[in-house]
Amino acid sequence: MNIRNKLVAVLTATTVLGFVLGFPPKYGPCKVKCRTLGLRKCFRICRIATGDSIAFPCWKNCSVSINGPNAANDLSGCIQQCRVGKTCDLASNKTRLLKILKEKEPLEGPLFAKDGNLYIVLYTAGEIRRVDLENKQTIPFVNLSVDGFNGMPLGLQNGPGNNIWVTDMRLGLLKVKQNGSFEQVATKDNQNEPLQGLNDLTFDYHGNLWITAPYGPIAPQNFTDSEKDPFGSVYCYNMTTNEFIKLATGFLYPNGIAVRHNSDGTPAKLIFGSFYNKTAPLWSFDIVGPCQIDNKQVWGNLPANSYIDGMDFDEKGNLLVTDYHSSILYVFDNNGGTPTCQLKLPFKHLTNVQFRPDSKELYITGDELWKVDWKYKGMKQYWEIA
Ligand SMILES: *[C@@H]1O[C@H](CO)[C@@H](O)[C@H](O)[C@H]1NC(C)=O
Ligand SMILES: *[C@@H]1O[C@H](CO)[C@@H](O)[C@H](O)[C@H]1NC(C)=O
Ligand SMILES: *[C@@H]1O[C@H](CO)[C@@H](O)[C@H](O)[C@H]1NC(C)=O
Ligand SMILES: *[C@@H]1O[C@H](CO)[C@@H](O)[C@H](O)[C@H]1NC(C)=O
Ligand SMILES: *[C@@H]1O[C@H](CO)[C@@H](O)[C@H](O)[C@H]1NC(C)=O
Ligand SMILES: *[C@@H]1O[C@H](CO)[C@@H](O)[C@H](O)[C@H]1NC(C)=O
Ligand SMILES: *[C@@H]1O[C@H](CO)[C@@H](O)[C@H](O)[C@H]1NC(C)=O
């Protein structure tokens, strides 16, 4: 435990104690700052909801330069901005979190393919591997490369047929057969522009494929990305018409992607994150037709300075979102806004999540591969209902 963690523990304990004693909880560092500024009603300015905690690094950065006539508002604003919910309930308190394996390279894109096996990508190596869950090891499956350019796969999904669909930051969209042979599905969009490098993908229940594309053009162009220029895009691929459509652009490193459906199974809302945006927004669009979107909105935010990476819905409509930098999985209910609860994982970088089909087993990739018994089953995937 370093000094900062100790401080956080003490502050959390203070909050819990306040709650036990029946005072409305307040955030300690806020009270200190509030008093230093000579403000009044600090107990009100620094109040937090029962069960909430405040992310200290976020708070520190947010509040450091607060001064002047708007100080009270700004402090409350930082409380809102840096608020994190309570720890999520899991299916069981006994086997909460289980480590499966670690590789030399970071892991991404977990997928249970139609053969029942779990697959992951080692993106820096350009590899897709099969996971032997029993023996807790990985088995080489395919190394992606086209015309001498190595792939960097980031996302995997099941589509129609037995193909695994792959989004790759260098090679665009690929389809991999069960025997490991693969093909590039598209290198250009319907305007004949080269595809941007891709990150994550999801099929809606009507079979449209939605994709985030944070990078510059794919190989043979040199690789480009940016922490500052919002040139990231969202694509949709219609496999019936074979159209690859750029739907929207101007996003700062769009990452993760999920579709919420109405109760009759109609695709209703497209949601994705923005990895490098300090306010950590989850953007949403209404889905108004096949590969058609409208009404861009901020659907929710992670605590400021989070790095949104991967996401999936559970069967209750909760959206589970990973933060690459804080070890935390955040959970949103149907209404978005701020997270309703959070789960701290015992490894540093989280990338993506995937449920085993028809089960509560949630697999989380990053520095390592872990399993969590979630409280609910995952939302059914397109291939499970089609
Ligand atoms: C700290 O907050 C400011 C806005 O007040 C933001 O511009 C900056 O990027 C943040 N820095 C870090 C390291 O999060
Ligand atoms: C786990 O523990 C929490 C807090 O002690 C409790 O509220 C919850 O019901 C428990 N969950 C299960 C499934 O036992
Ligand atoms: C991919 O490359 C790695 C490292 O070069 C190698 O260990 C692995 O066997 C290869 N996988 C396949 C399926 O050829
Ligand atoms: C994989 O299967 C496809 C047909 O499904 C076949 O065309 C291809 O040659 C096979 N590749 C290998 C490496 O066996
Ligand atoms: C593809 O486009 C056609 C024509 O607009 C539409 O009918 C269909 O629903 C779209 N999606 C798929 C997956 O075919
Ligand atoms: C990629 O970068 C290298 C080194 O900067 C340069 O020589 C080459 O022309 C670039 N290739 C393309 C396709 O732009
Ligand atoms: C970052 O997200 C906020 C919404 O939370 C948005 O207003 C802003 O334009 C975004 N910044 C960039 C550079 O995309």
pLDDT in tens, 291-322: 999 999 999 999 989 999 999 999 999 999 99
Q: Which residues of 102-122 are buried (b: 16+ CB within 10 A; e: fewer)?
A: ebeebbbbbbbbbeeebbbbb
pLDDT value for 24: 66
Q: Is the CB of 305 under 6 A from ligand 1?
A: yes
pLDDT value for 55: 83
Model-level pTM greater than 0.85?
Answer: no
Q: Is the CB of 61 under 6 A from ligand 1?
A: yes
Q: Whose CA is nearest to atom 9 of ligand 2?
A: 89
Dihedral over alpha carbons 380, 84, 252, 129 (to 10 degrees): -50
pLDDT value for 160: 85
pLDDT value for 261: 98
DSSP lists the bridge partners of residue 362 as 355, 372
If you measure from the C-alpha of residue 205 to the centroid of ligand 5, how many angstroms do you get, rounded to a whole number?
Answer: 12
pLDDT value for 56: 87
C-alpha to C-alpha distance for 335 and 345, rounded to whole angstroms: 25
Q: Which ligand gives the minimal distance to the CA of 182?
A: 4
Asked whether 131 and 124 are in contact (CB, 8 A), the reply is no
CB neighbours of 45 closer than 8 A, spacing ≥ 6?
30, 34, 39, 72, 75, 76, 79
In degrees, rounded to 5, the angle at the alpha carbon of residue 257 between the alpha carbons of residues 262 and 260 is 5
Protein residues with CB under 6 Å of any ligand 3 atom: 127, 140-143
Pick the atom of ligand 1 nearest to 65's CA. 5
If you measure from the C-alpha of residue 278 to the centroid of ligand 1, how many angstroms do you get, rounded to a whole number?
Answer: 7
C-alpha Rg value of the chain to the nearest Å: 22
Enter the tokens of residue 329. 């999985």
Angle between helical axes of 3-20 and 56-63 (0-180°, round to 10): 100
CATH number 2.120.10.30 is the correct assignment for the domain at 97-385: yes
C-alpha to C-alpha distance for 257 and 199, rounded to whole angstroms: 9
Q: Which ligand gives the minimal distance to the CA of 279?
A: 7
* Residue closest to 198 by CA, chosen among 222, 176, 178, 225: 225
Asked whether 81 and 304 are in contact (CB, 8 A), the reply is yes
If you measure from the C-alpha of residue 68 to the centroid of ligand 1, how many angstroms do you get, rounded to a whole number?
Answer: 19
Give just the sign of the alpha carbon dihedral 124, 363, 84, 280. Answer: positive
Asked whether 166 and 153 are in contact (CB, 8 A), the reply is yes
C-alpha to C-alpha distance for 137 and 369, rounded to whole angstroms: 10
If you measure from the C-alpha of residue 345 to the centroid of ligand 3, how many angstroms do you get, rounded to a whole number?
Answer: 30
Protein residues with CB under 6 Å of any ligand 5 atom: 206-208, 238-241, 290
Instruction: For ligand 3, pick from 121, 143, 177 the residue to mutate: most ligand atoms within 8 Å of CB.
Output: 143
Mean pLDDT per 10-residue run, the chain (386 residues)?
43 40 75 94 86 82 93 93 82 81 97 97 98 98 98 96 96 96 97 98 98 98 97 97 97 98 97 97 98 98 94 98 95 94 91 98 98 96 92
Protein residues with CB under 6 Å of any ligand 7 atom: 230, 252, 274, 277, 279, 281, 298, 301
- Bridging pattern class, strands 137-143 and 145-146: unpaired
Residues of CATH 2.120.10.30 domain(s) within the chain? 97-385
Instruction: For ligand 2, pick from 88, 89, 90, 360 the residue to mutate: most ligand atoms within 8 Å of CB.
Output: 89
If you measure from the C-alpha of residue 45 to the centroid of ligand 2, how many angstroms do you get, rounded to a whole number?
Answer: 32
Q: Is the CB of 221 under 6 A from ligand 6?
A: yes
C-alpha to C-alpha distance for 313 and 202, rounded to whole angstroms: 11
Q: Is the CB of 220 under 6 A from ligand 6?
A: yes
74 three-class SS: helix
